[in-house]
Chains A and B, each alone.
Chain A
Amino acid sequence: MSTAALPDTTPNVGPTRTPAFEKRLAKRYRAERNFRLLGLSAVVFSVAVLVFLLGNMAINGIAGFQRAEMTVSINLPATQISADAAQLDTPEAMLWLKKQNLAEAVQLEAEMQLGKAGAAQLSPDAWRDVAAAIIDDPTLLGRTASFDLPATSAMAAALRGDGPPETRALAQRLADEGKLANNWDWGFLARSDATSPQAVGIWAALKGSMLTMLVTLVLAFPIGVLSALYLEEYAPKNRWTDIIEVSISNLAAVPSIIFGLLGLSVFLWLFPNLRSAPLIGGMTLALMTMPVIVISGRNAIKAVPPSIRDGALAIGASPVQVVFHHVLPLALPGMLTGTIIGMARALGETAPLLLIGMRAFVATPPDGFTSPATVLPMQIFLWSDEIDRGFVERTSAAIIVLLVFLLVMNGLAIYLRNKFEKRW
């Protein structure tokens, strides 16, 4: 009897784990697993898209760094071209060689070695490569030399297996004879825009990008750093500084194309002669980059502990000395990191530059801040309009160059952040 009076604890646990409970629990655990799997697949999908994007560009781009070239050996003494070193040093050397029928001589040799049909597929500008080689090394004129000369776009397509069957057969024959091959084309980095994918290069766009970035940096960095210093260290809390802060955070979120509209209606109105010049492009991008630098700069300044300021003030430094001798040097690495990230964004920007007219066909590299130029993203955009097959690879190759630049910049920013990160 007494044992029955004792409270029994076990039944209270047992009935809760009823079959219904077990079922619910299993369902909950299943939901847990599914949810986790869903999260994992979201991450995997995003990474897969990135890998696909980069892989796609890389595979196409590697072909873009190559071009179809035909091998022609030219007996230069037999062409009777004469030139001494002094003549070849002048800017008119190319013209001088053309006057002596270098182009015809190259064509004649090509016809003998490649046959009439093959020589017809030699790029009409092929002689320029020979001329450039002669200008580089005048001793070539005294011997027989073998040149890898660019083929036409049609021939390049045929080598890839596109185009009419007879051209394909010709390409196949020449390739089998070792006279036609896809060669590594370092000239792609050194040449400028052209109408044929076989002759294009990205140097003009690259130089334009560098000049534009230089203008952006020179304008945006000082203005950004100085206004970050003012807002974080000196600004009184009043309506004016509120307006400044609000306009900076708004500017950071304004679509880039709006900056293009501003550049178009203000900068091009002030300087109508500088259409598509790096100066105007840089000014427009600087306005866009400045807020990014201000925001990151303020965070870097905030990270400097107040004790540093108090210490300097306590030994008699003026507020300006506190900031310029103590706070700024400590905050500078953080500011630089933000600046590099802002510059990387500006480097990849296309839309505002499209509006201020940097979409012109520029076949010569810009020689200053005021001459017409194009930038790397714009070159990619312009080439992507060419449906010509040969431009697909070239565009991807240009994208690779752009992405490499961006990765290097971002890598530098991460390196700087890790190197200078301080724990106070």
Chain B
Amino acid sequence: MSPITLILIALGLGLVGWLAGRAKAWGFQTGDAAERPASRPVYHAWYVALWVVLPVLGFVVVWSVLSPQLVMQAVLASPAAQDLPAMAFERDAFLGEARAVALGQAPGVFNDDAEALIAPFREAIAHYNSVGVMVTVLIALAGGALAFLRLKPQFGARTRVERTVMAVLLVASLVAILTTFGIFASLVFETVRFFGIVSPVDFLFGTKWGPDTTASPDAVDPTRYGAVPLFWGTIFIGAIIAMIVAIPLGLMSAIYLTQYADPRVRTWIKPLLEILAGVPTVVYGYFAALTIAPAIRNAAVSLGIASASTESALAAGIVMGVMIIPFVSSMADDSMAAVPGAMRDGSLAMGATKSETIRKVLFPAALPGIVAGIMLAVSRAIGETMIVVMAASPAANLTANPLEPMSTVTVQIVKLLTGEQSTDHPATLSAFALGFVLFMVTLALNFIALRVVKRFREAYE
């Protein structure tokens, strides 16, 4: 039974509990002011409903993870499973096919050997479905009955309901910590396994990248896992080319829109620039790969540079820079707006022109905020995936020529994890190590930037 059905059953029973609790609590009201019940009927109702729904939800979470495994075990224990091939891969394929048919997701099996497994699967699924529904109903009834029997005129239902609400709020806010921990744990776990095969020194300082996905996991050549070309490609595309495009354009747009432009023009142009930030990166990637990259190659070839590639770092970097423009511009906008007007007015009163005021007063005062904004922009650019996957090259290349193909960390992660190799292969694990490095670098950049922004903001308050 799908978890959604179980949850719907629980919600239905919860509604019944709610109505029953409220009906009972209505009876507590005597009309005598001295004997007023401690809580209003609706809180009694919620108290019962919570006792029905919350334990069931806990059960459903556990059950949805547990029941497929129980079904699998029951099938493996059945006589039909005795003839299964010993190979884990083949066996899983058969089991998966039979399972899909039993669940009604597929019309038939490809391998005749899987045919025999369908019946045991149907049986086991039906068995555990009924177990699931029964346990759900039992838990709901037990919880509901327990809560219902506790309802009395002087029972503090409201306090308890409110305490539960607070607990739910707290749990919701813990999801963020759980996610952070989940990211960290999954990255570290696989990275440590990878570093057991390839030493961190080879990985971080090696200059040749070319994981052999077909090699046996036991015979790994650590010299093929040097990630320096990837780090260089990432920095070159994301932090150098993209920023050469984004910083001047973003800063000047922000200056023009805040200092010079007519307010009416500003109200139209600003949202227009924000559209640039809202365009999905896959669209930018498509644009870079199909329009910009060939144009750059043709331009380079006509200038006599025959080695120019259609997968050049330049195309990916320029398009990424365009994507970042609104980001830089809004950060610059914010930090210049935070500079007190008196400083600007003082400079203008001394006879400085507007541009002198901006360059010599406003800009230096806003510099920490702008630098922080640029750091955030860099962190976003080096973590950007689709543009580089579509426009940059899969071949790692340690060069400073922007017209040559170059690969980045994110391109390699996608390339290594969308292949068909097993999860234990060092090439697969290396993707997690790359992810770990990316995570740490972007985290450090964000952390420093947020610190700078915070400190800078306080300086003028």
- Establish whether residues A250 and B446, one from each chain, have CB atoms under 8 Å apart when the complex forms: yes
With A384-B390, A399-B286 known as contacts, the answer to whether A266 contacts B186 (CB < 8 A) is: yes
Q: Is the CB of B182 within 8 A of A395?
A: no
Chain B residue, CB-CB nearest to A252: B446
Q: Mark B318-344, 1 if CB is under 8 A from A, else 0.
A: 000010011000000000000000000
Q: Which of B173, B272, B410 has the most CB of A within 10 A?
A: B173
Contacts of B417 in A (CB 8 A): 261, 264, 355
Docked Cα-Cα span, A319 to B417, in Å, equals 49
Chain B 264-303 interface mask (CB, 8 Å, partner A; 1/0):
0000010111011011111101110111000000000000
B345 sits at the interface (CB 8 A): no
Interface centre among B172, B190, B283 (most CB of A within 10 A): B283
- Within the complex, the shortest CB–CB distance from B11 to chain A, in Å, comes to 13
| Chain B positions within 8 Å of A39 at CB level | 252-253, 255-257, 259-260
- Interface of A (DSSP majority class): helix
Say yes or no: B450 contacts A255, CB within 8 Å.
no
B257 touches A43 (CB 8 A): yes
Chain B residues with CB under 8 Å of A190's CB are none
Interface string of A39-55 (1 = CB under 8 A from B): 11111011101100100
10 A-B pairs besides A39-B256, A46-B253, A230-B172 with CB distance below 8 A are A35-B359, A36-B355, A43-B253, A46-B326, A56-B287, A229-B169, A235-B173, A251-B176, A255-B383, A406-B278
Contact residue among B276, B283, B354, B443 (Cβ-Cβ distance under 8 Å from A250):
B443
24 A-B pairs (CB sep. < 8 Å): A31-B353, A32-B355, A35-B355, A38-B252, A39-B260, A42-B253, A42-B256, A43-B253, A223-B175, A226-B169, A227-B176, A231-B173, A243-B177, A251-B176, A253-B379, A256-B385, A261-B187, A266-B182, A320-B162, A348-B282, A348-B283, A351-B389, A384-B290, A403-B279
Q: Which residues on B sit within 8 Å (CB–CB) of A50?
A: 272-273, 275-276
Q: Bound state CA distance, A419 and B257, in angstroms?
A: 26
Cα distance A265–B155 in the bound complex, in angstroms: 47
Which residue of A41, A53, A254 is within 8 Å of B287 (Cβ)? A53
Whether B376 sits at the interface, judged by CB under 8 Å, is: yes
Q: Which residue of B lies closest to A226 (CB)?
A: B172
Q: Which residues of B contact A273 (CB under 8 A)?
A: 68, 96, 99
Residues of chain B lying within 8 A (CB to CB) of residue A243 = 177
Question: A249 contacts the other chain (Cβ, under 8 Å)?
Answer: yes
Task: Decide if A359 is an interface residue (CB 8 Å cutoff).
Answer: yes
Chain A residues whose C-beta falls within 8 Å of the C-beta of B326 in the assembled complex? 46
Contact A254–B443 (Cβ < 8 Å): yes
Complex Cα spacing A402 to B285, Å: 14
> Among A38, A257, A290, A345, which residue has its beta carbon within 8 angstroms of that of B176?
A290
Q: Is the CB of A255 within 8 A of B162?
A: no
Cβ of A294 < 8 Å from any Cβ of B?
yes
> Within the complex, what minimum Cβ distance (angstroms) separates B271 from chain A?
8
A257–B170 contact, CB under 8 A? no
Cβ of A270 within 8 Å of any chain B Cβ, yes or no, is yes
Q: Which residues of A contact B77 (CB under 8 A)?
A: none
CB atoms of B413 and A261 under 8 A apart: yes
Q: How far is the CA of A384 from the CA of B251 in the complex (A)?
A: 33
Given A294-B176, A384-B290, verify A254-B390 contact (CB < 8 Å).
no
Whether the Cβ atoms of B176 and A348 lie closer than 8 Å is no
Report yes or no: B186 in contact with A261, Cβ–Cβ below 8 A: yes
How far is A395 from B390 in the complex, measured between Cα atoms in Å? 14
Whether the Cβ atoms of B273 and A244 lie closer than 8 Å is no
Flag if B285 contacts A384 (CB, 8 Å): yes
Task: Give bound CA distance, A39 to B329, whole Å.
Answer: 12
B113 beta carbon closer than 8 Å to chain A: no
